[in-house]
Structure 1
Amino acid sequence: MHVEIDTLTVEIAGARLVEDVTLRAGSGQLVGLVGPNGSGKSTLLRCVYRALSPSGGSVRIGGEDLRSMTARESARRVAALPQEVVAEFDFTVAEIVAMGRLPHQGPVARTTDEDRRTCEAALKGVGAAHLAGRGFLTLSGGEKQRVLIARAFAQQPQVLVLDEPTNHLDIAQQLEVLSLVRGSGLTVLTALHDLNLAALHCDVLHVIDGGRIVASGAPHDVLTPELLAEVFGVRAHRVPHPETGAVQLLFDRLRSA
């Protein structure tokens, strides 16, 4: 399922946070958004999973305008893992994952055998079946992320939106989470802070600065020393990953003129 964002603009309290952004995520692609803090990445993603309404432009999923869908219809197509997930009550892991089935249930939510099988398969798929009876609040950061990804998989979407999914995770957990997402076969839009992780896992990168896309393309073509100096204010040295050949970056502070 492809995603098309066309001239999207978001203005809040007189401030323009995103301006005329146009991009496309092809079916099955993992598309990354990178940029400095406050550049508009999260604001853009919130429009894709309908947490925010744009001031102008459109988001189309499979050619259909998101605004023409009911909330239930869009939730069957798009699942999201926001940057901050607040769980005030200690639901079990099984209960958290079962919430992903709500868009597929009627007005009176009744868990079917199909729902149970889907949730069990989602937990097994992320290696978290053994956590089903645990309280969500007792889990480590990495375990929580796996469970939340399982909830998204149980939703059976065609598009997955992730906002900084590797925050607060150690490096092994970061690699595990992105590997799970990469292997899902879904169309994925994700914001990432770590440029090296983005270069390793993303098919396409869009660099956002000041609410606008300033560069787009394959990681090797986009992550140039010139662009990184201009957008991030750092001096970058490019080296190939010894196994994959993907571009990787070593950073220094920019020298004063």
Structure 2
Amino acid sequence: MRIDIEDLTVEIAGARLVSDATLGAGQGQLVGLVGPNGSGKSTLLRCVYRALRPSAGTVRLDGEDLYAMSPRESARRLAALPQEAASEFDFTVAEVVAMGRTPHQSSVGRATEADRTACARALAGVGAAHLADRGFLTLSGGEKQRVLIARALAQEPRLLVLDEPTNHLDIAQQLDVLALVRDSGPTVLTSLHDLNLAALHCDLLHVIAGGRIVASGAPYDVLTPELLAEVFGVRAHRVPHPETGALQLLFDRLGPARTDS
């Protein structure tokens, strides 16, 4: 599935949080949205998964207006993992993941063999099959995150929208989860804080600052020392990964180093 976001603007209580954002992701691509805290990443993604209606602009899925679709129809095409996805009820892990099948079920809501297979495959894929009978509220932060990603994958979306999916995960889990979503099939639009993870896994990056897209392109072309100094306020050193050759970044403070007096 292709997603195109065109001239998207969000104003809330007189404040413009996103301004004329235009970006896209092609079929099967993993596309990252990066920028400093408060730059508008989450606000933009909330418009994509319909938690927020933009003040202007459009979001199109394979050319169709997202906001002209019924919630059920868009949920069959798109799954999302918000940055804060709390659950106040102590469902089991299996029950949480099964919620991802709701858009595909009839009004009766009975699980089919296809539903059970999709849920089992998603839990196994994130390494959480052993948690199926646990209460969701008893899990650690990292375990909860893996279960919520499994719920999104069980939905079998053609577009997966992830807002900081590596939150609460240790280093190995971060690498595993991003590799998993890349290999799972759908087009992926994700926000990421870790620029090295973004450089390693993303086909394209869109850099947002002050609510505006200021750069778009392949990670090597976008993550330049000049842009990182301007947008993130850091001095960056670009080095190749010793085994893969992928771009890696080392950071220093932009200003002069402080010395003890």
Q: TM-score, normalised by structure 2?
A: 0.95
For residue 106 of structure 2, what is the amino acid of its counterpart?
A: G
Does the 8 Å contact 1:33/1:189 carry over to 2? yes
Q: Secondary structure at the match of 2:213?
A: strand
For residue 116 of structure 2, what is the amino acid of its counterpart?
A: R
Q: Give 1:248 deviation, angstroms.
A: 0.8
Partner Cα separation in structure 2 for residue 45 and residue 244 of structure 1: 31
1:28-84 per-residue CA deviation (whole Å, 9 max, x = no partner) reads 000000001110000000011000001001000111100110000000011000101
Aligned to 2:153: 153
For residue 180 of structure 1, what is the amino acid of its counterpart?
A: L
Aligned to 2:259: none
Does the 8 Å contact 2:145/2:167 carry over to 1? no
Q: Secondary structure at the match of 1:249?
A: strand
Q: How many residues align?
A: 256
Partner Cα separation in structure 2 for residue 149 and residue 202 of structure 1: 18
Aligned to 2:15: 15
CA RMSD of aligned residues (A): 1.1
Aligned to 2:52: 52
Is residue 74 of structure 2 the alignment partner of residue 69 of structure 1? no
Aligned to 1:242: 242
181-190 vs 106-115, which moves further: 106-115
Partner Cα separation in structure 2 for residue 154 and residue 254 of structure 1: 44
For residue 73 of structure 1, what is the amino acid of its counterpart?
A: E
Partner Cα separation in structure 2 for residue 209 and residue 247 of structure 1: 22
Partner Cα separation in structure 2 for residue 59 and residue 245 of structure 1: 35
1:204-249 per-residue CA deviation (whole Å, 9 max, x = no partner) reads 0000000000011000000000000000111111101112211111
Does the 8 Å contact 2:27/2:186 carry over to 1? yes
Q: Secondary structure at the match of 1:144?
A: helix
Does the 8 Å contact 2:79/2:152 carry over to 1? yes
For residue 168 of structure 2, what is the amino acid of its counterpart?
A: H
For residue 46 of structure 2, what is the amino acid of its counterpart?
A: R
Within a 5 Å distance, the mapping from 1:1-257 to structure 2 comes to 1-255=1-255
For residue 49 of structure 1, what is the amino acid of its counterpart?
A: Y
Does the 8 Å contact 2:239/2:247 carry over to 1? yes
Partner Cα separation in structure 2 for residue 218 and residue 68 of structure 1: 32
For residue 111 of structure 1, what is the amino acid of its counterpart?
A: A
Partner Cα separation in structure 1 for residue 172 and residue 141 of structure 2: 12
Structure 1: runs of 5+ lacking an equivalent: none
1:97-143 per-residue CA deviation (whole Å, 9 max, x = no partner) reads 10001111223322222211221122122222221111112222222
Partner Cα separation in structure 1 for residue 32 and residue 101 of structure 2: 27
Does the 8 Å contact 1:10/1:16 carry over to 2? yes
217-226 vs 180-189, which moves further: 180-189
For residue 192 of structure 1, what is the amino acid of its counterpart?
A: L
Q: Secondary structure at the match of 2:108?
A: coil
Q: Give 1:174 deviation, angstroms.
A: 1.1
Q: Give 1:96 deviation, angstroms.
A: 0.3
Partner Cα separation in structure 2 for residue 246 and residue 173 of structure 1: 19
For residue 113 of structure 2, what is the amino acid of its counterpart?
A: D
Q: Secondary structure at the match of 1:85?
A: coil
Identity of aligned residues (%): 80
Does the 8 Å contact 2:145/2:168 carry over to 1? no
Q: Give 1:255 deviation, angstroms.
A: 2.1
Q: Secondary structure at the match of 2:85?
A: coil
Q: TM-score, normalised by structure 1?
A: 0.97
Does the 8 Å contact 1:145/1:177 carry over to 2? no
